[in-house]
Amino acid sequence: MKLGFTGSLKRLLKTQRKAVRLLDKTWGPARRTPSKPKRPTLQTTPAFGSNPGRLVMKSYVPTNLANKPALVVVLHGCRQTPESMDAASGFLKLAKDRGFILLYPEQTHSNNPQKCFNWFRPSEVARDRGELLSIKQMVEHAVKRHRADRARVYVVGPVRRWRNDRCVDRQLPGYVCRRRYCGRNACWRRS
């Protein structure tokens, strides 16, 4: 017993090609929508240190990287991801235009179901421990790998307690951290 599936498929494809040619003659070739330029994406770095806080390191390095570029560490809020934070803030486009490095530490669901950073746990904000040590290791890795300027490390995001003097400045000695606190309606800078 012989099945005629192959022959039927060939006839169907031949008929389809004839129909496309006929339609092209009648109405012109099908217009293809131009493809949009690919949006830059954040890259995950799997190994950047011992990572005691079990965070994920995501970063963006533009192709037009300046000499001794600045490093901007963007902390996301609860129920956010680095991608949603970037979509809301537009830092990726700014980094691409200005030539600086972006670093997005990402909280995992296993650390906190709401994806909040655990700034309220003393073990996470103590010097050389927990999530802050993971962020410190991310910054050191990015500075070393991309030759970023230690005097131009900026920490931004909605999580004020992570960026206060107690946490970030004690954790990153030797760096000049400029913090930007973003409230509901205003942002101000403290040096």
Whether residue 58 is found in the same domain as residue 106: yes
Structure-token match 């709401």, residue found: 114
Is the pTM for the entire model greater than 0.75?
Answer: no
Asked, for residue 150, whether it belongs to a domain, the answer is yes
Residue 15 has pLDDT above 60, yes or no: yes
Whether residue 67 is found in the same domain as residue 154: yes
β-partners of residue 187 are 182
Residue 90 has pLDDT above 60, yes or no: yes
Q: What's the confidence (pLDDT) of residue 176? A: 52
Whether residue 127 is found in the same domain as residue 98: yes
Question: What is the domain range of residue 53?
Answer: 43-190
Whether residue 88 is found in the same domain as residue 135: yes
Asked, for residue 37, whether it belongs to a domain, the answer is no
Give the three-class secondary structure for 25.
Answer: helix
Whether residue 112 is found in the same domain as residue 165: yes
Q: What's the confidence (pLDDT) of residue 153? A: 86
**Which residues lie below 8 Å from residue 130, measured CB to CB, with a gap of 6+?**
52, 53, 118, 121, 123, 124
Asked, for residue 51, whether it belongs to a domain, the answer is yes
Counted domains in the chain: 2
pLDDT (mean) for 165-173: 55
**Rounded to the nearest 5°, which phi and psi values hold at 91?**
-65, -35
**Rounded to the nearest 5°, which phi and psi values hold at 159?**
-95, 90
Asked, for residue 38, whether it belongs to a domain, the answer is no
Side-chain-side CA neighbours of 139 within 13 Å: the count stands at 28
